[in-house]
């Protein structure tokens, strides 16, 4: 799919104030610093469209970007950032959970996972919660430029194994690097396929 146009629309904490066009949207979620905003910039080929930072906790709002005037990419705040404190974490979590549960036009959630780590409890619990609530999602491994092919394969296999302990079927899985522009075609083709 060709991205002809990508524009920032609105940021907010209130799901009721998100765009009311009814167009389908694809949202990016995962732990703080996993690379959500960077992936949106990579997919759209627009540096600086979504704000990124080497410090976790950069994205604090629900951000809508309209693509080709037909659908939205949505950048969400990261979950589980320790420095924010319990209250701050719960506030962010409420924003995320309300968006996911209330947003009918949210067609697919992309759950980003840093490929360098072993399966993390917070991510496993989050995906479990998605499954229990019937939320369609994919897993997206990020920062694959940071690992050699052998380690990458091992880490992804470990995740799949852990998933199979509780899931009968694995969700679609993507491997990406925003740095090296890996996985762009695969993700965009997937969005195009389910957008029809």
Binding site for Mg ion (CB under 5 A): 36-37, 58-59
Of residues 69 and 117, the one with the C-beta less far from ligand GTP: 117
List 34, 62, 95, 108, residue binding ligand GTP (CB under 6 A):
34
Q: How many residues interact with ligand GTP (rule CB under 6 A)?
A: 23
CB of 62 to ligand GTP, least distance (A): 12
CA angle 123, 127, 132 (to 5 degrees): 145
**Pairing relationship of beta strands 6-12 and 62-67 according to DSSP bridges:** antiparallel
Of all residues in the shown chain, the one whose CB is closest to ligand GTP is 78
- Tell me if 142 sits within 8 A of 78, measured CB to CB: no
List 25, 26, 49, 52, residue binding ligand GTP (CB under 6 A):
52
Does residue 56 belong to the site contacting ligand GTP (CB under 6 A)? yes
Q: DSSP for 67-120, please give it.
A: ETTTEEEEE-PPB--GGGHHHHHHHHHHHHHHHHHH-TTEEEEEEEEETTSPPP
- Interface with ligand GTP in residues 126-165 (CB under 6 A): 142-143, 145-146
3-state secondary structure of 6: strand
Of residues 32 and 155, the one with the C-beta less far from ligand GTP: 32
3-state secondary structure of 174: strand
Binding positions for ligand GTP, rule: CB under 6 A = 32-38, 52-54, 56-59, 77-78, 142-143, 145-146, 177-179
């Amino acid at each position: 799919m060709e991205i002809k146009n990508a524009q920032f629309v609105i940021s907010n904490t209130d799901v009721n104030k998100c765009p009311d066009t009814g167009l389908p949207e694809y949202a990016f979620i995962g732990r703080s610093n996993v690379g959500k905003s960077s992936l949106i910039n990579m997919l759209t080929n627009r540096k600086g469209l979504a704000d990124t930072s080497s410090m976790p906790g950069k994205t604090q709002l629900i951000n809508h970007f309209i693509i080709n005037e037909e659908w939205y990419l949505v950048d969400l705040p990261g979950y589980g950032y320790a420095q924010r404190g319990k209250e701050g974490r719960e506030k962010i979590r409420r924003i995320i959970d309300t968006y996911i549960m209330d947003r009918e036009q949210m067609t697919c959630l992309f759950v980003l996972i840093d490929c360098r780590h072993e399966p993390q409890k917070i991510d496993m619990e989050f995906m479990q919660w998605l499954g229990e609530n019937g939320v369609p999602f994919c897993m997206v491994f990020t920062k694959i430029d940071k690992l050699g092919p052998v380690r990458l394969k091992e880490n992804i296999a470990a995740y799949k194994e852990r998933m199979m302990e509780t899931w009968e079927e694995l969700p679609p899985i993507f491997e990406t690097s925003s740095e090296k522009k890996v996985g762009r075609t695969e993700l965009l083709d997937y969005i195009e396929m389910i957008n029809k």
